[in-house]
């Protein structure tokens, strides 16, 4: 009887916890569901007779669609570079014995916090300026990649550390080049890790305001994170009609992209061969 | 822009006086005292002042008739409560909303001996001293400030321009022409010094402490003096230290 | 972010050779390894290390954004550092940040993330996927959007939270700003911990749990005696990463601008205020260096704990 009661209580506790957690995460998102369709949105998340007027107004701004496209481009470029460079590096670092290797990774990880702060703004600007890469996506991509690489390598190295080398050794015996081994043996095994890095890079770039803001001049090149602030008036006020609609547009692609990766690769932190 | 500054003008002083910044002086104390009276007697909503979006909310409250007097600039009139596309439009703006000049503490007691004072700001255009095309840059600058260019701008969006002839010919709106005729002649700007942002922060902190009831006016003036001294060096500050 | 490994003995910085790692040194010769590492190393050297060192150097000058010191900065040695250590606002910022990191990352995200991973681990239901998606979307949404969501959620008069709590009209962001910002960050970042612990839990050998269960251990005891020791390495690595990330998180600014009265002025906001708003870039750079130092201390602390289990 006590066992029964305990099981029932456990089930009730489980349901209550899950319900509360779901509510906690879902409730704040309500604003994004209601406000964009509200003709006079305020900070309250309340349902109103839905209208698409805000979207119509938002699209009158010629920069809106361009900026979303720019965000996608920047995110994809950076993701590609980060995934490629970090996979190569993580594989190499986990297959060779280098003294101080782990320490180096930790130090680089700490440095990436300096470079993502506002104090590094001027050095980054001057560096990119001297390289002649101001107002180019190459400049922005390189800077963003540099900042993301240490953590990406850190994560991916854990995946590559735990894939067994037997397959690689056999492939080596059969004369495969290191690159072929990486491509045909290792990558399929660490693909979930690469998917995690890909999503993480895209999410970081999508949100990043500071780097594109200081390195890009042309309004046509600006990504959505920068263009968001053009929906504030000269007095610094938020125009909620446009801002809510734009926020929704700004959020959708990145969520869709995550769902796509989740479907295709499973967005989980599994490493190597599962038991 | 801080409303502290035109109030300070009303006591006859500017932020910098004889090359030194104002710290803990009778004038700054008087301004902080005014804040203390206003918010201490609940004439103003202190909590609204403390919110990050307090200013935006005050606009809406004014439009809803909950605030009687708002100390704002022309931006408020033409972009916020403008019945035609404003962010907090008031249909009856032209009939229900009045305006007045900011009085000095006493007649003749304002900056430059004025009866009324004002603070202005805005954008400016400068030529980069390192330019390789100074003549062309100068021509462009001349054009940008020409009657033709400014009139084109004003006709699309009514606002105060830097040219009297453009203002007189084009500003039909009652408040904007009032500002152009009566306010511009008596207005002043804040010092264009590199230390200004830090001084501004010092002023904001001191004012907020008074508004929130954390400090008395005298105390806050002392805080202001100390913060300004820290920013520009004690030698460059007047007032009690 | 960190992953799990099927071999429970793996942890970064550890001595025990992993099943894949060093033993495979013969697979990848030195030249190939060098070539593989080169692209990342070049990018990091050029776009991370170089600007970071430059920034650290700026901390030794009186460089400003505008004014005479912008055109002609002077070397001031450790002046910025002594000024910082005496600056009450800096000390306040340090305390606020410590509370923010401890409350939202070390305690909040870890506990909630683990609780979610643990309770959902065997649940086969479409609702499980829904909850996980919700948690992850909270993390994916762009920072500016999320700030709006929470300003709306916590609004005193019309916010969703107060609408659900009858009779409550507290202005959370004004009256309990640090608490509000901590809860916000828990909402924002739990996804990472949840995913990591989910993976770690799935790697715990079921046989161990079975043995414990047969020996009469309750769910709680299984948790404490079998699961936690096994995944200890992952807990520590996760804590390290989220601590570092939260320490450098600027997002609270979007909710409270560091106020009211500096109560939520975490170090990244303090740096921004000094470097950009006040234009004192040299001082801001010095603070960045101090933050780097504090991060280093935190990292060393966690690494110590990691090594202890050997």
Q: Does residue A235 belong to the interface with chain B, where contact is any CB pair within 8 Å? A: yes
Contact C67 B50 (CB under 8 A): no
Contact A236 B55 (CB under 8 A): yes
CB of C6 within 8 A of CB of A162? yes
Contact B194 C257 (CB under 8 A): no
Chain A residues touching residue B53 (CB < 8 angstroms): 238
Q: Which residue of C has its CA nearest to A229?
A: C144
Within 111-170 of A, beta carbons closer than 8 Å to C belong to: 111-124, 127, 142-143, 145-147, 149-151, 153-155, 157-165, 168-169
List, in sequence order, the alpha helices (H) in B42-146.
46-50, 54-63, 74-75, 93-96, 134-144
**Model pLDDT for residues A162-196, shown as the tens digit of each residue:** 777 888 888 888 888 888 888 888 888 888 788 88
DSSP state of A232: B
| All chains having 3 or more CB pairs closer than 8 angstroms to chain C | A, B
Quote the pLDDT of residue C210: 81
How close, in Å, is residue B142 to chain A by CA atoms? 24
Which part of chain B is CATH 3.40.190.10? 1-121+189-241
- Confidence label for A41 from pLDDT (cuts 50, 70 and 90): confident
pTM summary value: 0.85
> Quick check: is A13 in a domain?
no
Q: Does residue A263 belong to the interface with chain C, where contact is any CB pair within 8 Å? A: no
Q: Does residue B61 belong to the interface with chain A, where contact is any CB pair within 8 Å? A: no
Task: Please tell me whether the interface predicted TM-score (ipTM) of this complex is above 0.90.
Answer: no
User: What is the rounded distance in angstroms from the CA atom of residue A194 to the CA atom of residue A196?
Assistant: 5
Chain B residues touching residue A53 (CB < 8 angstroms): none
Quote the pLDDT of residue A67: 93
* Domain containing residue A129: CATH number: 1.10.3720.10
Q: Does residue C130 belong to the interface with chain A, where contact is any CB pair within 8 Å? A: yes
**Model pLDDT for residues C257-291, shown as the tens digit of each residue:** 887 889 999 999 999 888 888 888 889 999 999 99
**Count of domains for chain A:** 1
Q: Does residue A239 belong to the interface with chain B, where contact is any CB pair within 8 Å? A: yes
Q: Order of strands, edge to edge, in the sheet holding B237-238?
A: B16-17, B20-22, B237-238
Contact B208 C261 (CB under 8 A): yes
Q: Is C215 exposed, middle or buried (0-12, 13-18, 19+ CB in 10 A)?
A: exposed
- Residue among C234, C9, C240 at smallest CA distance from A162: C9
End-to-end alpha carbon distance in chain C: 23
Q: Which two tokens stand for residue A89?
A: 């590096």
* Among the partner residues B47, B194, B209, nearest to C67 by beta-carbon distance: B194
Quote the pLDDT of residue A47: 81
Phi and psi at residue B16, in whole multiples of 5°?
-110, 135
Task: Check residue B144 and give left, alpha or beta (phi > 0: left; psi -120 to 50: alpha).
Answer: alpha
Q: Is the pLDDT of residue A256 over 60?
A: yes
How close, in Å, is residue C244 to chain B by CA atoms? 27
Q: Which residue of C has its CA nearest to A253?
A: C141
Contact B198 C69 (CB under 8 A): no
**In CATH, B1-121+189-241 is 3.40.190.10:** yes
Vertex C308 angle, CA C302 and C310, to 5°: 130
Within 66-85 of C, beta carbons closer than 8 Å to A belong to: none
The residue among C43, C272, C275 with the most chain A CBs within 10 A of its CB, best to mutate, is C43
Q: Which residue of B has its CA nearest to A232?
A: B87
* Site of tokens 């799990």: C4
Contact B80 A234 (CB under 8 A): no
List, in sequence order, the alpha helices (H) in chain A.
2-26, 30-34, 53-59, 63-95, 101-115, 121-130, 137-161, 166-173, 178-181, 187-207, 210-215, 224-227, 240-265
User: What is the rounded distance in angstroms from the CA atom of residue B214 to the CA atom of residue B9?
Assistant: 25
Contact B56 A238 (CB under 8 A): yes
HEC per residue, B72-100? CCHHHHHHHCCCCCCCCCCCCHHHHCCCC
What stretches in chain C show pLDDT beneath 70? Answer: 1-27, 309-310
> Quick check: is A238 in a domain?
yes
> Quick check: is A25 in a domain?
no
CB of B80 within 8 A of CB of B55? no
Contact B79 A238 (CB under 8 A): no
Q: Is the pLDDT of residue A117 over 70?
A: yes
The residue among A233, A234, A237, A242 with the most chain B CBs within 10 A of its CB, best to mutate, is A237
Work out the average pLDDT over A37-42. 83
Q: What is the mean pLDDT of each run of 10 residues along chain B (241 residues)?
A: 88 88 92 93 87 83 90 88 85 91 92 92 85 94 93 88 89 89 91 86 92 91 92 84 51
Q: Order of strands, edge to edge, in the sheet holding B102-103?
A: B102-103, B116-119, B187-188
How close, in Å, is residue A91 to chain C by CA atoms? 8
- Residue among B229, B199, B232 at smallest CA distance from B4: B199
Within 177-236 of C, beta carbons closer than 8 Å to A belong to: 187, 195-196, 198-200, 202-203, 205, 219
CB of C275 within 8 A of CB of B201? no
User: pLDDT averaged over chain C?
Assistant: 83
Quote the pLDDT of residue C11: 40
Q: Residue A236 is part of which domain span?
A: 53-265
User: What is the rounded distance in angstroms from the CA atom of residue B234 to the CA atom of residue B21?
Assistant: 10
* Among the partner residues C67, C257, C278, nearest to B52 by beta-carbon distance: C257
How close, in Å, is residue C130 to chain A by CA atoms? 9
User: What is the rounded distance in angstroms from the CA atom of residue B76 to the CA atom of residue B86?
Assistant: 9
In sequence order, the 6+-apart residues with CB closer than 8 A to the CB of A21 are C112, C115, C116, C131, C135
Chain A residues touching residue B79 (CB < 8 angstroms): 233-235
Domains of chain C: 97-259 (1.10.3720.10)
Chain A residues touching residue B80 (CB < 8 angstroms): 235, 237
Chain C residues touching residue B212 (CB < 8 angstroms): 260-261
In sequence order, the 6+-apart residues with CB closer than 8 A to the CB of A173 are none
């Amino acid at each position: 009887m006590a066992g029964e009661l305990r099981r029932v209580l456990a089930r009730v506790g489980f349901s209550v916890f899950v319900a509360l957690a779901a509510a906690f995460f879902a409730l704040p998102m309500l604003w994004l569901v209601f406000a964009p369709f509200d003709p006079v949105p305020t900070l309250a998340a309340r349902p109103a007779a839905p209208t698409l007027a805000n979207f119509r107004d938002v699209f009158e701004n010629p920069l809106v669609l361009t900026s979303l496209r720019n965000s996608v481009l920047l995110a994809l470029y950076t993701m590609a570079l980060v995934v490629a460079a970090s996979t190569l590096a993580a594989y190499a670092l986990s297959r060779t014995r280098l003294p101080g290797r782990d320490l180096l990774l930790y130090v680089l990880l700490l440095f990436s916090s300096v470079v993502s702060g506002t104090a590094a703004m001027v050095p980054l600007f001057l560096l990119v300026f001297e390289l002649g890469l101001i107002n180019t996506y190459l400049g922005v991509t390189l800077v963003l990649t540099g900042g993301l690489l240490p953590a990406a390598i850190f994560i991916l190295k854990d995946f590559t550390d735990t894939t067994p080398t037997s397959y690689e050794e056999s492939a080596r015996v059969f004369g495969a080049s290191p690159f072929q081994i990486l491509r045909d043996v290792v990558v399929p095994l660490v693909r979930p890790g690469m998917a995690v890095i890909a999503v993480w890079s895209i999410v970081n770039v999508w949100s990043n305001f500071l780097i594109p803001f200081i390195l890009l001049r042309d309004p046509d090149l600006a990504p959505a994170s920068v263009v968001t602030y053009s929906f504030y008036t000269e007095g610094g006020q938020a125009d909620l009609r446009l801002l809510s609609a734009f926020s929704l547009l700004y959020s959708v692609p990145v969520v869709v992209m995550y769902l796509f990766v989740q479907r295709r690769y499973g967005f989980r932190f599994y490493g190597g061969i599962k038991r | 822009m801080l409303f502290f500054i035109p109030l300070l003008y009303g006591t006859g002083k500017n932020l910098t006086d004889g090359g030194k910044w104002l710290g803990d002086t009778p004038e700054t104390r008087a301004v902080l005292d005014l804040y203390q009276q206003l918010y201490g007697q609940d004439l103003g909503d202190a909590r609204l002042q403390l919110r990050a979006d307090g200013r935006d909310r005050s606009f809406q409250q004014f439009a809803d008739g909950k605030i009687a007097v708002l100390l704002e600039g022309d931006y408020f009139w033409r972009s916020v409560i403008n019945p035609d596309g404003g962010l907090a439009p008031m249909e009856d703006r032209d009939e229900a909303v009045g305006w007045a000049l900011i009085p000095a503490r006493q007649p003749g007691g304002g900056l430059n001996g004025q009866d009324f004072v004002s603070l202005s700001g805005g954008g400016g255009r400068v030529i980069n001293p390192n330019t390789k095309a100074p003549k062309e840059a100068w021509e462009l600058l001349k054009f940008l400030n020409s009657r033709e260019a400014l009139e084109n701008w004003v006709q699309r969006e009514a606002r105060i321009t830097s040219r009297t002839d453009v203002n007189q010919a084009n500003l039909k709106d009652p408040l904007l022409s009032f500002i152009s005729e009566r306010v511009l002649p008596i207005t002043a700007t804040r010092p264009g010094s590199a230390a200004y942002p830090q001084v501004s922060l010092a002023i904001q902190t001191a004012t907020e402490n008074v508004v929130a009831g954390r400090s008395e006016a005298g105390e806050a003036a002392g805080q202001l003096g100390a913060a300004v001294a820290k920013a520009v060096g004690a030698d460059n500050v007047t007032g009690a230290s | 972010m960190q992953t799990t490994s099927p071999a429970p003995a793996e942890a970064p910085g550890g001595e025990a050779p992993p099943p894949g790692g060093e033993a495979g040194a013969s697979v990848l010769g030195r030249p190939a390894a060098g070539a593989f590492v080169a692209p990342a190393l070049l990018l990091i050297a050029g776009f991370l290390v170089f600007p970071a060192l430059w920034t650290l150097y700026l901390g030794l000058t009186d460089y400003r954004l505008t004014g005479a010191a912008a055109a002609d900065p002077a070397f001031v040695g450790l002046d910025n550092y002594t000024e910082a250590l005496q600056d009450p606002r800096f000390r306040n910022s340090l305390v606020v940040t410590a509370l923010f990191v401890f409350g939202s990352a070390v305690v909040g995200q870890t506990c909630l993330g683990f609780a979610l991973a643990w309770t959902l681990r065997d649940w086969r239901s479409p609702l499980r996927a829904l909850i996980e998606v919700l948690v992850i979307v909270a993390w994916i949404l762009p920072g500016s959007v999320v700030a709006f969501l929470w300003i709306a959620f916590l609004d005193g008069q019309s916010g969703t939270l107060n609408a659900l709590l009858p009779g409550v009209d507290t202005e959370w962001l004004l009256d309990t700003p640090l608490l509000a910002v901590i809860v916000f960050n828990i909402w924002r970042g739990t996804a990472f911990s949840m995913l990591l612990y989910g993976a770690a839990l799935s790697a715990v050998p079921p046989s161990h749990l079975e043995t414990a269960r047969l020996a009469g251990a309750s769910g709680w005891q299984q948790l404490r005696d079998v699961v936690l020791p096994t995944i200890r390495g992952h807990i520590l690595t996760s804590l390290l990463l989220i601590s570092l990330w939260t320490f450098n998180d600027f997002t609270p600014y979007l909710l409270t601008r560091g106020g009211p009265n500096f109560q939520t002025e975490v170090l990244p906001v303090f740096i921004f205020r000094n470097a950009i708003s006040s234009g004192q870039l040299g001082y801001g750079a010095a603070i960045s260096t101090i933050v780097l130092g504090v991060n280093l201390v935190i990292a060393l602390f966690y690494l110590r704990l990691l090594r202890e289990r050997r």
